[in-house]
């Protein structure tokens, strides 16, 4: 039996005033239930060293709905409330397995506004989606069709900080199948001057999306800073203006990365990248803004899940691999390689472009690791054997 990949299809929609009010109430109730359940679980552990799970918090929700103080929870669909308890359970599971920090409370103004509906909480017929507690279907801008003959299993409604409404439909996509094996392999060196440099010698220009809107963003932020915190509507308008600029930057960046990653996955069977610690690199005050704009972590995440979809392999090599100052021809290691040096000549006479040479070394290290049979997978704990494997490969090539 063939199992299809589940994929989320995200669309923008335009709610009526009544729908917007209903969804806003739902967002508030979801946040309230999540915070109350988190408080109850924290208190149970702190006072009694008792771990309570989803079933216990679900029973608490039933009790809460019967109280006069929380009777308003009955006014919204119960499905998103149950789902937020499941999300809290997942958050605790990730915490106990040391994959995430301890769950935090959701703030009214800072947390993401969203609500998740399972099959019992919505109706999808003839291309029209109607949520529980609503009489009219959502006015969705269908920017692309859903796969033919499939129905969503889960629907998530959200509103971003710019005030835009989105609906995400989780469906099985039969169109995602492994691509034919082509045997191509490419090394990818991430940078700031060029967003990506490939081992083939191709350089992909960094669009610098944030820099293009930096003046407009700074002007909007200055206007926001002049609004007093108690200045309700005027401050809200100024805040939305800043959020819209940020959203436009993020949308352009995401679109660029989707196109790049899709192309790399379609053209290559094996893609080798560096295992960069972007979080630590962002501590560099001079380069933090440019590194954040390059979105290397988002690039890697997209590359990994698309490779899993289409039967490709992503290899991440040791972040300490001296890829820039190691000659890709004779494997001689240069003493120093400051950032301002873009081309250099090795003792063997080979002249290297810094970034292209680095991409070639990354590719060689990744292929060496793969050939050694190491357990390389596209997860975040990717192999740290890149440097030693490259040395072994260099020794093997020596006459």
pLDDT 10s digit of each residue in the chain, 399 long? 456 789 999 999 999 999 999 999 999 999 999 999 999 999 999 998 888 999 999 999 999 999 999 999 999 999 999 999 999 999 999 999 999 999 999 998 889 999 999 999 999 998 899 999 999 999 999 999 998 888 999 999 999 999 999 999 999 988 888 999 988 999 999 888 899 999 998 999 999 999 999 999 999 999 999 988 776 788 889 999 999 999 999 999 999 999 999 999 999 999 999 888 888 888 877 888 888 989 999 999 999 999 999 999 999 988 788 888 888 888 778 878 777 878 878 878 788 888 888 898 888 888 887 766 543 433 333 333 444 444 444 444 443
Burial track 147-185 (b if 16+ CB lie within 10 A, e otherwise): eeebebebbbbbbbbbeebebbbbbbbeebeeeeeeeeb
**289 and 141, same structural domain?**
no
Same domain, 159 and 297: no
β pairing state of 185-190 and 270-274: parallel
Would you say residue 129 lies in a domain?
yes
Rg (CA), the chain: 25
The answer to whether residue 212 sits within a structural domain is: no
- Within this chain, do residues 163 and 262 fall inside the same structural domain, yes or no? no
Is residue 241 situated within a structural domain? no
Catalytic one of 116, 189, 275, 293: 189
| Residue 267 a catalytic site member | no
Q: Are residues 39 and 153 in the same domain?
A: yes
- Is 225 among the domain residues? no
How many domains does the chain contain in total?
2
Residue 325 domain-assigned (yes or no)? yes
Active-site annotation holds for 255: no
Residue 198: how many CB atoms within 10 A of its CB? Answer: 23
Predicted structure pTM score = 0.83
355 catalytic per annotation: yes
Is residue 78 in some structural domain?
A: yes
16 in a domain, yes or no?
yes
Question: Which member of 210, 274, 275, 293 is catalytic?
Answer: 274
**Is there a single domain that holds both residue 263 and residue 377?**
yes
- Half-sphere exposure at residue 255, Cβ-oriented, CA atoms within 13 angstroms: 8
Which residues constitute the domain of residue 319? 185-205+252-397
């Amino acid at each position: 039996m063939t199992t299809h990949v589940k994929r989320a299809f995200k669309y923008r929609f335009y709610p009526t005033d009544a729908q917007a009010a209903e969804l806003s109430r739902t967002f508030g109730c979801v946040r309230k239930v999540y915070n109350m359940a988190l408080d109850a679980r924290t208190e149970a552990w702190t006072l009694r060293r008792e771990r309570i799970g989803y079933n216990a918090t679900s029973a608490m929700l039933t009790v809460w709905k019967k109280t006069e103080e929380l009777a308003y929870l009955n006014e919204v669909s119960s499905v998103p409330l149950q789902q937020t308890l499941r999300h809290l359970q997942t958050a605790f599971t990730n915490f106990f397995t040391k994959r995430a920090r301890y769950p935090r409370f959701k703030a009214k103004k800072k947390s993401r506004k969203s609500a998740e509906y399972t099959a019992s909480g919505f109706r999808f017929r003839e291309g029209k989606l109607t949520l529980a507690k609503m009489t009219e279907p959502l006015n969705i801008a269908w920017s692309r069709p859903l796969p033919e003959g499939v129905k969503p299993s889960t629907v998530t409604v959200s509103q971003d900080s710019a005030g835009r409404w989105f609906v995400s439909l989780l469906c099985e996509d039969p169109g995602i199948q492994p691509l034919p094996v082509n045997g191509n392999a490419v090394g990818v060196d991430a940078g700031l001057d060029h967003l990506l440099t490939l081992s083939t010698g191709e350089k992909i220009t960094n669009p610098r999306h944030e820099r293009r809107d930096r003046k407009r963003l700074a002007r909007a932020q200055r206007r926001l800073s002049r609004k007093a915190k108690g200045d309700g509507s005027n401050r809200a308008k100024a805040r939305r203006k800043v959020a819209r600029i940020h959203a436009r930057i993020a949308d352009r960046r995401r679109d660029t990365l989707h196109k790049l990653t899709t192309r790399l996955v379609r053209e290559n069977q094996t893609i080798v990248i560096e295992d960069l610690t972007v979080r630590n690199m962002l501590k560099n005050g001079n380069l933090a803004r440019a590194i954040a704009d390059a979105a290397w972590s988002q690039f890697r995440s997209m590359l990994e899940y698309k490779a899993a979809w289409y039967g490709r392999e992503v290899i991440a090599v040791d972040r300490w691999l001296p890829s820039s100052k190691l000659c890709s021809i004779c494997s001689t290691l240069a003493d120093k390689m400051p950032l301002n040096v873009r081309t250099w000549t090795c003792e063997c006479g080979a002249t290297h472009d810094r970034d292209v040479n680095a991409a070639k070394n990354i590719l060689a290290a990744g292929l060496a690791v793969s050939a050694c049979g190491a357990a390389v997978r596209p997860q975040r704990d990717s192999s740290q054997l890149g440097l030693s494997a490259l040395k072994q490969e260099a020794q093997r090539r020596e006459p």
